[in-house]
Structure formats: structure tokens, C-alpha cells
Structure 1
Amino acid sequence: MNTRVLFLSAILASVGLNGLAHSASFNLATNKQNIELKQTPKKIAVYDLSILDTLNALNIQAQIVPKTTFTGSLTSYNQAQFVKAGSLFEPDLAQLKQLKPDLIFVGGRSAKTLESLQPIAATVDLSPNTDQYMTDLKNRTLNLAKAFKRENIANKKLKDLEQLQQKVQQQTASKSAMMLFAVGDHYMPHAANDRFGFIYELTGFKSVLPLTEKTDAARPEAGSMQALAAQKKNAELLESAIQQNPDYLIVLDRGAVNTQKYATKQGIKTHPILGQSQAVKQNRIIFVNANAWYITGAGLDNTAFMLKEIAKSISK
């Protein structure tokens, strides 16, 4: 083989190797960030359960997770083989430096730690935007699926989820509801633009609550004049909503998180305002799974779980 042929062979081999290297690269694009790695990450740390749920649904396994109680489709992460490093709010920086992950995910409760984690490893914030619940879930899922080459799984699951949502919305057509976040004896109504107000978009229930006025003011101190005024306003809002006779009351009991002890199942019956509603008298109350709605949130498989939970409760 002459020198010219050897030279051409070397060039072709180089091009081939470069092509393989390029095909093995990893690119995760979001609205705010663009993460580029030389290869698909193998050691992944996740500090938001909605992200973990979506990754898990796409058959992408994390190795490092926070110390918390994992339920539902994430139960396997309670096992000791998964390293627990920090909490949902505060990743353990020292432990992560030793573990040397290839990629770190933050979101929601842990989003504020993004900058402190970036010197350790590539870190991406995939916080859910529940103001546009399904559109945002689809975008986050497809971004992950494209980066990890799981498009087939993602498209199948998203199609199934869309069909499930349509089925639920057929059940809720022309029906109204009020979402309630319960803490002890206090029931806080959530309008469509409140934290758990995404339920109206997700399920198709019509809200009986007006949109709330947003404020950056801190929560008033318990027992203060401001707190008492807020309680009075809350009671007036509940009374006004109940007068519209919602078909269903949907209750997220904060006290049932990690305990599954739903004290509100009894407490709501004796509540001076809610107890007089037709929904309570006719037992049209949906007590949603506290961990799924409060802790895991807007993940791919968890959203399907939440929709099935609503569908099952309506069909009783």
C-alpha cells in the first residue's frame, strides 16, 4: 500500500472516529440552559421528585438521591444501593464532591442551590411550571428523552397520558370542584392560579373560586392581627364558594404526607362551613394521595397516577 493510500485511510479513520465521538455526545436543552457533555452521563444525582419520576418513567436511573420517603413508582429508591446525599431542599455538597456525579438535576424545592452545585458537576434546573401543566410536562419529558435517546418511550407514554386526560375530562364535563389544601383544621381554597390550582386544567373540573391576587408578602405570624384577618378572609371565600354548590371537594391533607393518615376525612364533616355543603353531605369528596400531589408532583408517571386517582373517585 503506497503512502497516498495510507494517508487517505488515516483521514477516513479519523473522520469515522470523530463521527462516533459526536454521536456519543450528550446535549440537554431547556428554556434556560444548554448542557453539553462529551458522553451520556452514567452517574446522575436528582434533587426533585418530579424529575426523578420522569427519568424513571423513561428507564433512566439515578444513582444519587435525597434523603426522603419514596412512594409509588419511586419506591425502589428507598433501597440502600441508591446513595442518599442531602435533602430535597439542600443537597450535601461535600458528599457530592466525593461522589463526583456526571450530571445533577435540581428543581422546585432545590432550585435555589443551582449555582452552588455547578462547580461540582453540570447542573440543570428542570423545575415544573404548573401554570401550563401539560405543555410544560410534555416539553420537559421530550427534552430529557431527546438527550438520553428515549424518544420512543416518551412518545408512547405521552400519548397514553393524553388519552387518559381526555377520558377524565369527559367524566368531569360540566362538573365543578373546589381544591382545598388542608393543614390541621384549616382548609385553604386553591384557585386556578394557586399552587395546586393546576388540578382544574389537568382534570377539566370547573373552579368555583375567583383567581387570587398574587403578593410577595411573607406569611403572617400565627396569632397576629394579619393572620386573623387572613383567616377571616379565607372563611368568607369558603362560604362564597360553597354557595355555588361545587359538585366535588378535592382535599390535599398536608398531615398525611409520609404518614397516609388522613385526619381531614373526619374533620371536614364537622367543619362549620364545609360540613354544610352538599358535596360533604353526599360524600362527593376526593382525598388525593398526599405524597403524590405534595411531594412528587408533576412527573410523567405520577401525573398518570393522579389522573387515574381522580377518575376512580368520580366513577364510584
Structure 2
Amino acid sequence: MTYIKLPLALILSFSAFVSYAQPVQFTYQDQTIQLQNTPQKLAVYELSALDTLNALGIQASIVPETTFVGALKKFNDKQYVKAGSLFEPNQTLLKEQKPDLIIVGGRSAAKLNEVKKIAPAINLWPDTQNFNQDLKNRTLFLAKMFNKEQLAQSKLDHVYALQAQLKQLTKGKSGLMLFAIGNNFIPHAKNERFGFTYDISGLKSVVPPAAPQASSARPAPNSPEALATAQRNLERLVQAIKQNPDFIIVLDRGAVNTQNYAAKQHIQSHPLLKNSQAVKENRVIFVDADAWYLTGAGLDNTAFMLEELINGIKNTK
């Protein structure tokens, strides 16, 4: 009997590929896609989904034109087709590339119906207000499609273990999540973009929950709506500092793609924050801007964010 020795990568690619006896439907929330085979050529415009796929050893071949960082840095390479932006998939190029599956979300979610005309497509925009359950749902949805359930569950268990470790450190402690734009520090509460920080960290928010937002549209600069929002944020910051949070977590928008954390200096001169006990006692954690602002709620990136908070809190003690 003759045996043929195959490269490991080729064996793994066979094990990940499944040809269904008949078209199979995959349902996520209110979306259903129908596939004949395991998708081999993926176009991914949602970075958290790209991070989760990468964590599961599933490679996209078509991605948006952007700056990839961290675990996704390899997608800057020319071997990956760049078809449009995070906001606007290049539909002409997508038609030429003929992907088996297109994943949108967040910035590109509005283009779902258009790209559905090219290939099966789905919106995997994270729901960070239900962070843990949503991460599990999105991860297992992708894992089932690619026969990666065992690895997915192992990675999810690692995330849960990190959360338990973090919450042990933050037990009975309060926190304030700030989004910094220049020298402007905006408090984020539950139901706001980065309000999930309290849920995953176990820190008690010193900012009352915000009303659920029907729209994420930003008011025009210097408009009455923008000025009213700025005044409201200032009042919320005043009240938050009065609560004397044990920890302050800062996401510096200006550090995205630059790693230039000017907020570290701005917070020391801010008329309100500089006098807070957390700042005076160096209980401030400046999180990785690219991981939190760009990649977001992906499987490996969530583990990275949790490890960052764990190390940050340990280093402030």
C-alpha cells in the first residue's frame, strides 16, 4: 500500500472545508444565508469579525483598505485584496473577485443589501450593550459555519477566565470610562459606545446609565445640538468626579493609528480631572486606542482588552 504524505496546511484546509449534501441555511438573529459549501473566499469589512475569524484560524482574502494593527497586522500585506474602505466596499472589485461570503458591520452595515447582490452577505455588527452573550453568539455562528466549534469554545472559556480574574481585582471598586478627543474628556456610561467597559471589568460606573440611543448620528460641529451635548457632557463629568472613582480608563481618539497618547498630558492639566484622586494617585489606565476603537469586540481582541485592564489595575496598586 502506498501512502502519500500531505503538508499539514493542506490537511487542515481539507478539514475546514465541508461540502454540504444540500444547501445549508445559517441563521444569525433575523438574518439567514444559504450556502452550498464552506466559504473559501471571504470578504470581511467588520474588523471584530475579522479578528474572530483570525482567532479561529480562518483567513479572509478580501479586506478593506485601512491600517491593520495588532493581530490583524498581516492584512496590510499585498497578498490580501483591498476592495474599498471600511465604509464603502468596492462592489466592482468584489464582483471580479467572486467571494463566497461577504461580512459587513458597523461602518459598512448600510451596504448590506447592495453587496447581497454579489454574494451571500451578513451583518455581524457587535451589540456591545450585551457584550458577553453577543460575543458568544457571533463567535459560535462563525465557528459552526467553519467546523471550528471546539476551538471557539476554548477561546471563549479563556475570555471568561480573564473576566473572572479582572472582576476579582475590581470587586467593590468604581470606575469612569472617558473618551478623549484632544483635551476634551467625554464620560461614557452604560448604553453608550464604550459603556461595555463596566460590564466586562466589573467596575461600578460613577456615571448613571444613558438612555438607549435611537441614532448614533453626530450633531454638526458648533450647531446648537453639538453645543448642548458638550455642556451636558461637562456636567456629567463634574458629577462623575464628585463620586471619586477608584479607577479612570481613558481611550484617546488621537492615538488611533498614531499611538501618540497626548491625553496622558492633557489629563494632568485638565481643570477638573487633574484634581481627582485617581489622577493624583496614578490610578488611570490608558487603553490601546487601535484595539478599542478600531478592532473592538473580536474574540482575541476581547482577550487582549481584558488583559490590558488586568495589567493596568495591577500596575496602579
TM over 0.5: yes
**Letter matched to residue 242 of structure 2:** Q
Match of 1:31 in 2: 29
**Letter matched to residue 97 of structure 2:** L
Q: Does residue 268 in structure 1 map to residue 254 in structure 2?
A: no
Match of 1:164 in 2: 162
1:229 Cα deviation (Å)? 3.1
Match of 1:313 in 2: 312
**Letter matched to residue 270 of structure 2:** H
Contact 1:175 1:205 in 2 (8 A): yes
Q: How far apart, in 1, do the equivalents of 2:265 and 2:123 lie?
A: 40
Contact 1:43 1:103 in 2 (8 A): yes
Q: 1:123 to 1:176 in 2, by over 3 A?
A: same
Out of 95, 117, 132, the position equivalent to 2:115 is 117
> Which 5+ residue runs of structure 2 have no aligned equivalent?
1-17
Q: 1:154 to 1:226 in 2, by over 3 A?
A: closer
Q: How far apart, in 1, do the equivalents of 2:285 and 2:279 lie?
A: 10
Contact 2:103 2:121 in 1 (8 A): yes
Match of 1:178 in 2: 176
For normalisation by structure 2, the TM-score amounts to 0.90
Q: 1:177 to 1:217 in 2, by over 3 A?
A: closer
Q: Aligned-pair RMSD on alpha carbons?
A: 1.6
Contact 1:177 1:248 in 2 (8 A): yes
**Letter matched to residue 219 of structure 1:** R
Q: 1:141 to 1:220 in 2, by over 3 A?
A: closer
Q: 1:70 to 1:155 in 2, by over 3 A?
A: same
Match of 1:81 in 2: 79
Larger radius of gyration: 1
Match of 1:295 in 2: 294
1:216 Cα deviation (Å)? 4.2
Match of 1:61 in 2: 59
SS in 1 for 2:126: coil
Q: Which moved more, 1:33-42 or 1:207-216?
A: 207-216
Contact 1:25 1:40 in 2 (8 A): no
1:37 Cα deviation (Å)? 1.2
> Which 5+ residue runs of structure 1 have no aligned equivalent?
1-19
Q: How far apart, in 2, do the equivalents of 1:295 and 1:171 lie?
A: 27
Match of 2:229 in 1: 230
Q: Does residue 220 in structure 1 map to residue 219 in structure 2?
A: yes
Contact 2:19 2:38 in 1 (8 A): no
Q: How far apart, in 2, do the equivalents of 1:104 and 1:240 lie?
A: 45
Q: How far apart, in 2, do the equivalents of 1:218 and 1:37 lie?
A: 35
**Letter matched to residue 221 of structure 1:** A
Q: How far apart, in 1, do the equivalents of 2:84 and 2:216 lie?
A: 29
Q: Does residue 47 in structure 1 map to residue 45 in structure 2?
A: yes
**Letter matched to residue 168 of structure 2:** Q
SS in 1 for 2:267: helix
1:56 Cα deviation (Å)? 0.5
Q: How many residues align?
A: 297
Deviations 1:248-282 (A, max 9, x none): 11111101000000000000111011111001111
Match of 1:4 in 2: none
Q: 1:155 to 1:244 in 2, by over 3 A?
A: same
Q: How far apart, in 2, do the equivalents of 1:130 and 1:219 lie?
A: 19
Q: How far apart, in 2, do the equivalents of 1:314 and 1:54 lie?
A: 26
Q: How far apart, in 2, do the equivalents of 1:268 and 1:79 lie?
A: 37
Contact 1:26 1:147 in 2 (8 A): no
1:121 Cα deviation (Å)? 0.5
